[in-house]
Chains A and B, each alone.
Chain A
Amino acid sequence: MIKRQVVLESISALLIMLFLYASASKFLDFNRFIGEMNNQRFPAQITPIVIWAVPLSEIAIAAALLFEPTRMIGLIASLILMSLFTIYTATVLLHIFKYVPCSCGGVISKLTWKQHLVFNLFFVALSIAGIYIQRQKSFKSIFTTKNSFV
């Protein structure tokens, strides 16, 4: 039980590190981030929303992962966001867009698109593992609570 809890804490910590680093890198170099987002093949109307939505959702997910009552929400949101990034990376590799510069910020921007795909898939897998462990933990706690009333 303790082992699983440590694994869950470690998964959460890795995801928190990823999202906090990514969001901080974006805010610390916001002009560059805006420039890179303007390069993307989004409709022009969506870009201002995406510019704020991506780093703010990353901070929100990191905050949700920090606390036990909101951890499941954080893990699910993390899975959704990382899956979206993975789909986007896959579309780049499939040459659906003619030109797509990276907008990941910091050290991560040095990765190639293929490395990005592996990197994203790793964090998708971590989110899934986190959800699985958290679910098992929740079921166990419900079961023990029920038994304690008997």
Chain B
Amino acid sequence: MNKIKLVIMTTAIFLSLGSAFVKAATADCVFTQQYYLSGSNYVMTGVFGHDYYCDTGVGACTYILSGGNYVQCRIGSYLPVKLTNEQDQQKK
């Protein structure tokens, strides 16, 4: 039983840590410059969490420039922080 336990636990530890390292090493779209769609133009975003949020939704929130094309990155709807703060103040 101890051998089975050792095998299960060792596999679990290696799998979880290994996949976390592999994921960290893989380039994620969120690390590159983000753009949002304003009308028909793509505009550079600021810092995620500081300048803008992505509200829950099904559409594309931000895009990245990949090979001359804009590709969807974050999912949701684009929400600038200033706008949400103003909305909060208006509610108050």
Q: Taking A92-B56, A106-B20 as contacts, is the C-beta distance between A20 and B4 under 8 angstroms?
A: no
Q: How far is the CB of A141 from chain B (nearest CB, A)?
A: 14
Complex CA gap A122/B47 in Å reads 34
Q: Which residues of chain B are near A2, meaning CB under 8 Å?
A: 1
Check A17–B47 contact: CB distance below 8 A.
no
Q: In the complex, which residues of chain B have a beta carbon less than 8 angstroms from the beta carbon of A24?
A: 16-17, 20-21
> B30 contacts which chain A residues (CB < 8 A)?
32
CB distance from A35 to the nearest CB of B (A): 4
Q: Mark A1-27, 1 if CB is under 8 A from B, else 0.
A: 010011001101110111011001100
* Residue from A17, A21, A101 in contact with B53 in the complex, judged by beta carbons closer than 8 Å: A101
Known A-B contacts A32-B30, A38-B49, A98-B84; A9 and B20 likewise in contact (beta carbons under 8 Å): no
Minimum distance in angstroms from B72 CB to a CB of chain A: 12
Chain B min CB distance to A47 (Å): 11
Measured in the bound complex, the distance between the Cα atoms of B18 and A33 in whole Å is: 19
Is the contact region of chain B dominated by helix, strand, or loop, or is it mixed?
helix
How would residues 68 to 89 of chain B score, 1 for a CB under 8 Å from any chain A CB and 0 otherwise?
A: 0000000110010000100000
Question: A113 contacts the other chain (Cβ, under 8 Å)?
Answer: yes
Q: Chain B: interface residue count, which band?
A: 20 to 34
Contact at A100–B56, with CB atoms within 8 Å? yes
| Interface 0/1 of B8-47, CB less than 8 Å to A | 1101110111011101100000100000000000000001
20 A-B pairs (CB sep. < 8 Å) = A6-B4, A10-B8, A13-B9, A14-B12, A16-B12, A16-B13, A16-B16, A24-B16, A24-B20, A28-B20, A28-B21, A39-B48, A39-B53, A66-B9, A99-B54, A99-B55, A101-B76, A106-B23, A107-B23, A112-B75
Q: Please list the 10 inter-chain residue pairs (A to B) with the smallest Cβ-Cβ separation, ordered nearest first.
A: A24-B20, A20-B16, A28-B24, A13-B12, A21-B16, A35-B49, A17-B16, A99-B55, A39-B49, A99-B53
